Chain A
Amino acid sequence: MHEYDVIVVGAGGAGLRAAIAAQEAGADVAMVTKLHPVRSHTGAAEGGINAALRDGDDWEMHAYDTMKGSDYLADAPAVEALTQESPEEVIQLEHWGMAFSRDDDGRVSQRPFGGLSFPRTTYAGAETGHHLLHTLYEQVVKRGIEVFDEWYVLNLATTDEDDPDERSCHGVVAYETATGNVEAFRARDGVILATGGLGQVYDHTTNAVANTGDGVAMAYRAGVPVEDMEMIQFHPTTLPSTGVLISEGVRGEGGILYNDDGERFMFEHGYANNDGELASRDVVSRAELTEVNEGRGIEDEYVHLDMRHLGEERIVDRLENILHLAEDFEGVDGLEEPMPVKPGQHYAMGGIETDEFGGTCIDGLYAVGECACASVHGANRLGGNALPELIVFGKRAGRHVAGEDLGEPQVTAGRTPNAETASVDTPVSLGEPWGGEGDAVADGGAAADTATAVVERALDRERERVERLRDRDEGAQHADIRAAVQRTMTENVNVFREEDALKEALVDIHAARERYRDVYVADPSSTYNTELIQTIETRNLLDIAEMITVGALARDEFRGAHWRKEHQERKDDEWLKHTMVSWSDGSPELWYKPAVLEGEAKTYEPKERSY
């Protein structure tokens, strides 16, 4: 059994930053990650990282923009932490050598981004995430932090008290891809989940193939509530054939959207009379799809994003990477032609419920980055706000887990007396047929045992699960199940949502669960068995898809990214609250907790979002 003070699961921006902070606070840290750190999807981030660095800007404006962008579903204390600490964190990256783009005076450059009242998006060309990821990894190398790369974490080792708030997490169980060994990692102080996005529940996504929501699903089945999962961000400019992202930086620099009639529809059809292309992502995504649905799309599928007028020099200076992406993945020369774009799944605003220090309701279990929901994005994330989230909350969680006293959190994790129970009318029994017996991943270890015993028991159980998958002779294959889930999510739980379609998605997910009971792994090898890993990922995608859909069905209003055909208004009286899903005896239980709109100095009053 490997033993450390802190185990960080995942080595993208969030995990790396957390590991550095925990180590600096004196902890003995190991990172366990299914990809080598530099392969993490943070490397794909393009546009930039928001921080109020300049005269004329301040954290309060950044906080205000973020609350407004969130459609008042973010929690103010977390947003204020984000906006107060991101300048220091961005400068810290610069001190670690990150190659930001520069102004003439040698300072880091900033550009405008959608939904921001000040051009505060700091960037490194159109490859900000690549630079950020490598800079952080360099610091991890420098500090000699141990990295177990290509180790797939299968499950958490958590005690099984009836009340999740009383459970503790003592480590994780992981599968070494190269050899097929299943081994335990005990964490004396705590485990930080930083497993990133879950875009693979959709078939058109900007996310990497590895973004399968593993951390969210593991935490969920260990009993942690999962928050606001219906809030899925669709990015308005992805390449139609692959889902590869064309950064918002293009519109930030002045790129223009046109329909098939050559109209600049953001203005001409009144979608955003002030901000046009720079309205926030939900607004632009809906505008594009409306154009397509009303017959003004190009080839009935997409619209054009034109940057030619920016001139070669500016494009090459600030958006060079975009030229490569358009050329490699769509065969389009962005200097000569407009680029085809359409909305695609991009980001999960929801995730594992945490407080402002990354803590969950389970003792010793933390979550940071895209898999977590400290609730800074609410119903719509502003571009450039995810990268600061990684480093600000990564740092906070790292320090907290290593024992630094950071004070009392204002956002509480776990059920509180003002939690509201709820139910929703679904066409199938949720979570079934699965859960309870035979679902080895559903519950934790033994409550009364020592920490080591809990970890050992979790280890035995995971070994058994892996054996079972490999022993089975025939049955269903994960690739078919995965494809079915991705298809129904893209058809039915997309930018536009209707009750019947959401219900249909639940029926399809249920059917996929049914088939998953018979899933088997055909590849007999224990060497680099990617089929086995994908099969386990697919199990996670099933839970994620269900959480998203149930939450979307229950929320009968229109807020941020969540559009409902039958409910075309934001219902502030009823819905200024977070959707919570908890795993209860093998199926999801729905409940709500109020959004916290009260910040340090002021309360953010819901206002209409016009751009």
Chain B
Amino acid sequence: MSTQRPEPETETESAETEAEADAETPSERREAAKRRRAERRERERVEEEERAAADAERYHLKVFRYDPEVEGKQEPRFDDFHVPYEQGMTVLDALIYARDEFDVSLTFRHSCRQAICGSDALFVNGRQRLGCQTQLSDLDQPVRIEPLPHQEVVKDLVVDMEHFYDQMESVEPYFQTTDRPEEELEEQRQTRENREKIKTSTRCIWCGACMSSCNIAAGDNEYLGPAAINKAYRFAMDEREGEEMKQRRLEIVEQEHGVWRCQTQFSCTEVCPKDIPLTEHIQELKREAVKSNLKFW
């Protein structure tokens, strides 16, 4: 499914200019003119880049580029950017600099800058990471920045998250209990231990890094994947939902493309930016499922 990615060895070449002589309608002419201008800007950018590359205080990024609509970018490629380094600079800072100073069309998601919105998960030097949480100084140069693997690329570093959201939503990701306190203003009790037990599982920011790192998910599109299973864990282990609901949740994760697909490779756990012990949670659900089956057989 995912877009073919070239090896990032070649430096950027500006795309061949298309002959626009046969453009007929005004809108075609406009489009053609727009393309020409884009190409001119592209040349200027490459020149600027070459100047910047001579500067030793700069970090060298190789950034994946692809846009289905723009001629020069339909063929996936890597662009080089040299950004001036400042103490504490993150991968996201560097991308923002590259976009605002060199190429306004460079596209990536980001918002919070503090590892909580989950929108800037990227594949940086061969590993899934949040751009905003990754210091440039921790990385070897050139820093290679790509969209999350195993996801359809929409444009540049932006991937289609629909499938991920669908999987998250397929596990009934909402609290369900029939056992409410009688008093309206009375909360349901939860022990500190129980909250502690679910704590790490509640930290998921839906970044998709785990899913992207998982070989099983890559091969089996229906596999729930680590994030969705973790979401199920979050509720199954919450004592406030009660035993009956827990059984139901176990049934959900036990389905054909559920927990049993996991082959304990730990790649999800390794990349999760919120340090959620995903593999452990999946294992625990497997054990619970076995236990509850034993009860019935």
**Chain A interface residues toward B at CB < 8 A:** 35-36, 38-41, 43-44, 53, 87-88, 91, 94-97, 99-108, 125, 127, 130-131, 134-135, 138-139, 141-142, 178, 208-210, 241-245, 324-325, 328-331, 471, 473-474, 477, 479, 483, 521-531
Contact = CB atoms under 8 A, between A and B. Distances in A.
Contact of B118 (A39, A142, A210): A39
A477 B99 CA distance: 12
A524 B189 CA distance: 56
24 contacts: A36-B165, A36-B206, A43-B112, A43-B116, A91-B184, A97-B174, A99-B238, A102-B190, A102-B195, A104-B192, A127-B116, A138-B174, A178-B154, A208-B111, A210-B111, A244-B113, A244-B114, A328-B115, A329-B88, A331-B135, A479-B100, A479-B104, A522-B38, A528-B156
A245 B116 CA distance: 12
B88 A241 contact: yes
A525 B114 contact: no
B3 to A, nearest CB: 13
B186 interface: yes
B142 interface: no
Contacts of A241: 87-88
Contacts of B203: 127, 130
Interface stretch (B65-73, B75-83, B251-259, B289-297): B65-73
Interface in B162-201: 165, 169, 172-175, 177, 180, 184-192, 195, 198-199
B205 interface: yes
B58 interface: no
A99 B155 contact: no
B180 to A, nearest CB: 6
Nearest to A39: B117
B202 A131 contact: yes
Contacts, number: 167
B37 interface: yes
Given A106-B190, A525-B155, 14 more contacts: A43-B116, A95-B187, A100-B187, A104-B192, A106-B189, A208-B113, A241-B88, A479-B104, A521-B104, A524-B38, A525-B70, A527-B69, A528-B107, A530-B108
Contacts of A102: 190-192, 195
Interface in B230-250: 235, 238, 240-241
Contact of B119 (A35, A53, A141, A330): A35
A130 B184 CA distance: 25
B208 to A, nearest CB: 11
B248 to A, nearest CB: 15
Interface string B9-35: 000000000000000000000110111
Contacts of A100: 187, 195
Given A102-B195, A479-B100, A88 B185 contact: yes
Contacts of A94: 187-188
B175 A96 contact: yes
Interface centre among A43, A99, A531 (most CB of B within 10 A): A99
Contacts of A530: 107-108
B110 interface: yes
A130 B174 contact: no
Interface residues of B, number: 66
Interface centre among B116, B117, B133 (most CB of A within 10 A): B116
B37 A528 contact: no
Nearest to A45: B116
Nearest to A526: B69
A95 B174 contact: no
B20 to A, nearest CB: 14
Interface string B88-104: 10000000000110001
B250 to A, nearest CB: 18
Contacts of A125: 199
A370 to B, nearest CB: 15
Given A44-B117, A471-B30, A331 B88 contact: yes
A209 B104 contact: no
B27 to A, nearest CB: 10
A127 B117 CA distance: 12
Contact of A35 (B33, B70, B113, B117): B117
B158 interface: yes
Interface string B47-76: 000000000000000000001111000000
Contact of A141 (B67, B110, B161, B173): B173
Contacts of A483: 100
B124 to A, nearest CB: 15
Contacts of A134: 202
B69 A525 contact: yes
Given A41-B111, A102-B195, A531 B205 contact: no
Contacts of B191: 102, 106
A128 to B, nearest CB: 12
Interface centre among A91, A104, A131, A477 (most CB of B within 10 A): A91
A87 B69 CA distance: 52
B184 A208 contact: no
Across chains A and B, which 6 residue pairs bring their CB atoms closest together, nearest first?
A97-B175, A106-B189, A523-B105, A138-B174, A479-B100, A142-B174
A325 B132 CA distance: 11
Nearest to A109: B192
A60 B187 CA distance: 22
A525 B107 CA distance: 11
Given A141-B169, A522-B104, A525-B105, A41 B117 contact: yes
A401 B37 CA distance: 48
A327 B291 CA distance: 40
A75 to B, nearest CB: 26
A477 B104 contact: yes
Contacts of B199: 99, 125
B205 A43 contact: yes
Given A41-B111, A43-B116, A138-B175, A91 B187 contact: yes
B38 A528 contact: no
Contacts of A244: 113-114
Contact of A107 (B187, B206, B240): B187
Interface in B264-288: none
A106 B114 CA distance: 31
A524 B35 contact: yes
A474 B37 CA distance: 9
Nearest to A94: B187
A425 to B, nearest CB: 36
B195 A101 contact: yes
Contacts of B184: 88, 91
Contacts of B99: 479
Contact of A44 (B114, B169, B187): B114
B111 A528 contact: no
A209 B105 contact: no
A140 to B, nearest CB: 9
Contacts of B135: 331
Contacts of A43: 112, 116-117, 205
A30 B97 CA distance: 36
Interface centre among B30, B117, B155, B205 (most CB of A within 10 A): B117
A99 B117 contact: no
Nearest to A88: B185
B21 to A, nearest CB: 20
Contacts of A524: 31, 34-35, 38, 69-70, 105
A265 to B, nearest CB: 26
